[in-house]
Amino acid sequence: MFVNPVALLLLSALLTSTGLSASSSEAFSRTPREVLAWAAEAPEAPKAALEILLDAIEVVVEANGHERWRTVLVYRVLDLEALPESFKEVRADWGWTSSRPEVQARIIRADGSVHWLDPALLVEVAAEELANVYSDRRTLRAPLPALAPGAVVEVEVRQQMTPWAKSGTNHRFALQNHWPTRALRVRVTAPMALLFHVTQTGASWPSALRDEGKRRVLELEARDVPALEEDEPGSPEDFPAVPLLWVSTAPDWQHAAAEYAGIVDQVLEGTHLETLARQVVGETRDAREAANRILTWMGPLRYASVNLGETSIVPRRPEEVLRRQFGDCKDLATLVVGLLRAAGFEAWTALLLTESIDNIDGAPGLRLFNHAIVRVGGSSPFWLDATAFDSLPAGVLPAGDEGRRVLVAAKTTERLERLPVASPEANRKRLQGRVEFSDIGKGRVSERHDREGTLAGLLRPLGSKGIADARER
């Protein structure tokens, strides 16, 4: 993002107009009387369960890549009955790359009384995960005391982060949420020696990027941010529904791709898959046919993701996957890549972000990717998703993958690519019905369902018995 002096002047004016200087906007620094007066500055309370007075994040990046995070959330309760449960408690997650959070909270009621969160009430529980996902991530949580209409809640969370990627890291910050917000602030500082990529998508709030001594400082603050509107039904999945700020310290995508390529190569080193590849692939020299034979052979496997420490990032070795008979996306993708390479074909693991917002182009780094698939080279290159081994053939991607930005983990990669999107004709469903009436007694009804592409993939995992059961129901 190109930042000129005008942007710096806009930011200075914004900070002055909000009255949120670096000192006065800090949580817990004001007296209860000052906090209540600040909350009452709005000419009219919004018609909502709460109003966010300040949503602030500060990140300090050190020369070794370690990060110190501080988040501050200050909000006023307007309707206690309608207040979401997530605002009735404090909650902070952490995993193998971050420290246990330090949390404090203060509640100031409308009568001026002050109530602090009792640290003894904080409990550690396993972080909530999706089905078939097991991890060592933890959640720290506790209920907030003395909530009432008109109360102002201040919550502060501090954490130390140790990014795992040596090529640099990337982050994204939401610049709007589902509640009206008086002030939203992001501040990131990093050594001058680290490259600093900054971009916004879906919005263009005033921001400033300046040098302070040997450090580079990014500041962004927005005033009177309206609540997000609900997405319209049928909106495109790649529509930027939430404005975001993207920040990266990685030099470029080439460094990120090369780092993960090295991780995959190290996992596959010494696996000796040649004999197994010959048994599975046979003598075919057609890459697509070879890939389909591998996907068919993977039938007894199942999807399960066990993320303990660095295994949330580093794939498991093929022999481990085959012994346990399960794996997640990166495990299964690495298994397919290993077998294809052992059979003499070009193949690489590829990383993508399977979310509605993947405008990640301007923020190189590995941290935000959450899915792995396979890129097969040769004269007619194609993609496959190894987690769909029981439903989709090689060259056909699940709908959630299509059109996403993808990073091929190869040392020759220089930029992101776009995954192909199947034409409407490729995903077709036909329904033929026939009704026969008899002169006497029962008639006869028959139906024929034909599906192609990803629609067919929805039925294949059921198998013949599952389809018969569905038909019976």
Instruction: Report the alpha-carbon distance of residue 55 to residue 177 in Å, rounded.
Output: 10
Give 11's contacts (C-beta < 8 A, 6+ positions apart). Answer: 206, 207, 208, 219, 220, 221
For residues 384 and 450, state if they share a domain.
no
* Alpha-carbon distances of 136 from 11, 125, 156, 158, 294, rounded to whole Å: 41, 10, 24, 20, 31
How many other β-carbons are positioned within 10 Å of the β-carbon of residue 25? 21
pLDDT at 240 over 80: no
pLDDT tens by residue, 24-46: 345 788 999 999 999 988 766 67
For residues 239 and 147, state if they share a domain.
yes
Mean pLDDT of 132-147: 96
pLDDT tens by residue, 71-128: 999 999 999 999 999 999 999 999 999 999 999 999 999 999 999 999 999 999 999 8
What is the residue-averaged pLDDT of the chain?
Answer: 87
* Alpha-carbon distances of 261 from 137, 370, 413, 461, rounded to whole Å: 26, 16, 10, 31
pLDDT at 70 over 80: yes
- The label of the residue with tokens 């501040």 reads 187
For residues 227 and 178, state if they share a domain.
yes
- Give the start-end residues of each E strand in 304-428: 305-307, 326-327, 347-352, 371-376, 382-384, 405-408, 417-418
Nearest to 303 by CA among 424, 100, 133: 133
What pLDDT does residue 436 have? 84
pLDDT at 15 over 80: no
Show which of 202, 221, 249 is a domain's final residue. Answer: 249
For residues 225 and 353, state if they share a domain.
no
CATH number at residue 132: 2.60.40.3140
Residue type, 192: M
Show which of 185, 219, 249 is a domain's final residue. Answer: 249
For residues 165 and 261, state if they share a domain.
no
Token pair for 63: 């020369």
What pLDDT does residue 239 have? 64
Instruction: Report the alpha-carbon distance of residue 317 to residue 100 in Å, rounded.
Output: 30
Q: Report which of residues 198 and 230 the model is more confident about.
A: 198
Nearest to 185 by CA among 76, 75, 54: 54
CA angle 109, 110, 112 (to 5 degrees): 70
For residues 417 and 451, state if they share a domain.
no
Nearest to 75 by CA among 49, 93, 43: 49
For residues 208 and 316, state if they share a domain.
no
Token pair for 80: 């206690």
User: With bands split at pLDDT 50, 70 and 90, how would you rate the model's confidence at 22?
Assistant: very low
Mean pLDDT of 335-344: 98
For residues 158 and 203, state if they share a domain.
yes
For residues 378 and 456, state if they share a domain.
no
For residues 82 and 225, state if they share a domain.
yes
pLDDT tens by residue, 346-355: 999 999 998 7
How many other β-carbons are positioned within 10 Å of the β-carbon of residue 126? 11
Instruction: Report the alpha-carbon distance of residue 130 to residue 386 in Å, rounded.
Output: 19
Token pair for 190: 């990093």
For residues 392 and 290, state if they share a domain.
yes
What pLDDT does residue 2 have? 25
For residues 223 and 136, state if they share a domain.
yes
Out of 8-17, 90-99, 243-252, least confident range: 8-17
Show which of 249, 278, 302 is a domain's final residue. Answer: 249
Asked if 72 and 52 count as a contact pair (C-beta separation under 8 A), the reply is no
- The label of the residue with tokens 């590849």 reads 277
What's the Rg (C-alpha) of the chain?
Answer: 27
Instruction: Report the alpha-carbon distance of residue 194 to residue 248 in Å, rounded.
Output: 10
CATH number at residue 266: 3.10.620.30
Q: Residue 458: which domain range? A: 425-472
Domain total for the chain? 3
User: With bands split at pLDDT 50, 70 and 90, how would you rate the model's confidence at 159?
Assistant: very high
